[in-house]
Amino acid sequence: MAAAKESALAKLPLAGKIGVGAFFAAAVFGIYYLIFYSDLAANITKERARTEELESERNKLRQAQTTYFADRDDLSMRQQRQREFNKILPETTEAASFLSAIQQVSNVAGVNLNAWQPMEEQKQNFFAKVPMKLEFSGKFLQVAKFVYEIGRVDRIINIENIELSDPKLTGDEVILKAKCLATTFRLVKKEPPKPAAAPGAAPAPGATGTAPAPAPTGEKK
């Protein structure tokens, strides 16, 4: 029986065999790198860049959220201060609110508010005085408490020119009639200057030359 033919690889020396093995290993590694690893590495690089981009966006959103909450809290505080300021010095006359505050104080003090008469405003540079004549009756201590409680309401109200008269004995108590001038204030905002009308131009719609109606008066019956 003939001997088996020796392969070419077996005829190579040890260094050649190592070289051939290294060549095949490098070829396999090259194929693996080209087919699998290069795409995987590109995807990893892409995802890392995307992650960094998302992290940057998240940090920006967090900063924007912090700024939003700070602005929201600041706006809330400003609105609260504005509401408190409007109670003290409103922008409108609010005669009904003014009278309501006086009536509430009269109920607390125990005096009878008999009559009231709003008067014409007195405008200053930044505010306007809103006076109202009052007539009420009660015991001396009730009258004093009325003046004291007026100074404790949120809105600024001054009491001046107090006149006490016509004392009457009712049981064991002396009832007095009182007159005074109650003055509150409102904020006056400067209006922007109106453009001058062209010569011969028609008056603005709704403009009239009539004087405003007189302020209403009230009397408690």
| pLDDT tens-digit series, residues 70-128 | 777 776 776 666 566 555 556 666 677 788 888 999 999 999 999 988 888 888 777 78
What's residue 64's pLDDT? 83
Q: Quick one: which of 156, 16, 38 has its CA closest to 86? A: 156
Beta bridge partners of 170: 173
Other beta carbons within 10 Å of 130: 22
HEC string for 4-22: CCCCHHHHCCHHHHHHHHH
Q: Where are the domains of the chain?
A: 16-88, 95-190
pLDDT of 99 reads 83
Question: What pLDDT is attached to residue 138?
Answer: 93
Distance CA 175, CA 165 (A): 9
Token pair listed for 170: 């009712």
Q: Does 95-190 carry CATH code 3.30.70.60?
A: yes
Q: Running along the chain, 221 residues long, what does each successive block of 10 average in pLDDT?
A: 56 64 70 68 82 88 82 71 58 72 90 90 80 92 91 85 89 89 80 61 51 48 44
CA distance 193 to 205: 18
> What are phi and psi for residue 176, nearest 5 degrees?
-115, 150
- Whose tokens are 């060549």? That residue is 23
pLDDT of residue 221: 44
Angstrom CA distances, 87 to 20, 101, 153, stand at: 96, 11, 9
> What predicted TM-score, i.e. pTM, was given to this entire model?
0.49
